[in-house]
Structure 1
């Protein structure tokens, strides 16, 4: 189901980090491939906030490999920047899922109390999250089993399927 078309823009889930020295080059600019790692971190935290971990998915025999990735670079992140990765679902079905991301640089003030900021993110559906936009992107995934064959999530792990649907339904109620 494409959430935007269904009138259910998913809320942003946030994870925050400080750019480490190893993630930047000699000029202090973040190497482009690190953004994909940050996207993964955003997805992982999103699942955790829905009530499941990637570790649990894999123990249950369900994997979620990336089938495509798209990134648009607006401005570079730099060593020691405070960064937030915002992730949300734009498409969700028993076979596929698409995530949208925004990587934003936060001021020290914006990075303050993450609980207060998370409370306001529920309202940030069509609005932009706080901070300077650095990178946007999407990743597409397919649910597979341990043999890397497509697996219907509603059959392979119905608890997660229903937890995601319920989270999306709750989000849609305040749109």
Structure 2
């Protein structure tokens, strides 16, 4: 009887942990979308295709091949965002992420993302209050650490994506000469 009770308690606690983990993950993904990070990586994919287009210009790769490869990069955007969740995990608690979302949903937060130089006086005061809060202070003090982690993750992701696309082009018979 005691073993069953312990098993049930363990099972319920693991469900609770998984639910919390799922919520944290979802909230970080939401934050990365609303703060423009997802758009930055989407633009990076576009730039990678521009680079590849120039590198493979003499091979006359048909547009349908490029379209096919571009479709295969949709999961890559989700992959980098998921990798970034891990980079954020070591620095920000779930409560911090919720506070960040709440701030960036305000008109001040949206303006800060769009163009911080265009903040009016009231928005500057609101931003100052946020950045003086515990979450805001954590953002400011961990900026270099997060930038370093994000940089490492981004480098790995972009290198792997480039290599994957070059390999797929090679499979289709488009091999760059050294």
The answer, yes or no, to whether TM exceeds 0.5 is no
Higher strand content, 1 or 2: 1
> Which structure: greater helix fraction?
2
Give the TM-score of the pair, scaled to structure 1: 0.30
TM-score (norm 2): 0.29
Which structure has the bigger radius of gyration? 2
